[in-house]
Amino acid sequence: MSFKTARNHARRSINRAPWPLMARTVPWLTVLLGSLVPSWLMIASAPVMPPIGYLIFLSWHQLRPGLLPIWAGLPLGLFDDLFSGQPFGCAVLLWSASSIVLDLVENRLPWRNFVIEWLMANGLIIAYIVLCLALANFGGAASPIRVIVPQIVIAVLAYPLVGRFVAISDRFRLTPFLVSR
């Protein structure tokens, strides 16, 4: 960062400010990492991993509305599609649609409590997994709906943990660094 912005940041607190590059990129990087992680944990012979990239994406939207722009589903979904095994474009479509839904809810229902947030997240997760199955079946597979039941349960149970992880990343993102003059 340039000298002038560094000085402006320093005036806000006593010589400390979050690093703007980190504050902007950490949400994107965590989602990208989340898209890769389920493929590394095990060589699965059934769909058992929660869609961690999508869970992190949702969680950032709920923790910091407006931090990821509405169009974030396009680049992040493209990356997820490269590794997810779904028909290409599945995540682009579903992530963009979830972004729009979350933003509408944010505008219509500005005051939300924990239960509403949790129910909304679960609804979106279940819809996402079911629609992924439907798109994969359109693409030539023939999986019955019972094979995704364990995945739905695991994803719903994993969402609070993912939320915790996102909260930690948020604190990390805004870590104030010593700004040298």
List residues near other proteins by CB under 8 A: 36, 38-52, 65-66, 69-71, 73-74, 77, 81-97, 99-100, 103, 106-107, 110-112, 132-133, 135-144, 146-148, 151
Shortest Cβ 146–other proteins spacing (Å): 8
Shortest Cβ 82–other proteins spacing (Å): 4
Instruction: Kindly tell me which of 58 and 136 has the beta carbon lying closer to other proteins.
Output: 136
Shortest Cβ 103–other proteins spacing (Å): 7
Q: How far apart are CA 86 and CA 35, in angstroms?
A: 12
Alpha carbon 72 to its chain's center: 10
Instruction: Kindly tell me which of 98 and 179 has the beta carbon lying closer to other proteins.
Output: 98
Residues 6+ positions from 93 with CB-CB distance below 8 Å: 77
- Which stretches of 9-71 are assigned E, i.e. beta strand? 16-18
Instruction: Kindly tell me which of 129 and 179 has the beta carbon lying closer to other proteins.
Output: 129
Q: What are the beta bridge partners of residue 178?
A: 16
Shortest Cβ 157–other proteins spacing (Å): 15
Of the candidates 16, 15, 21, which has an alpha carbon nearest to the alpha carbon of residue 1? 21
Q: How far apart are CA 128 and CA 112, in angstroms?
A: 22
Instruction: Kindly tell me which of 97 and 156 has the beta carbon lying closer to other proteins.
Output: 97
Tokens representing residue 85 in the block: 């095994």
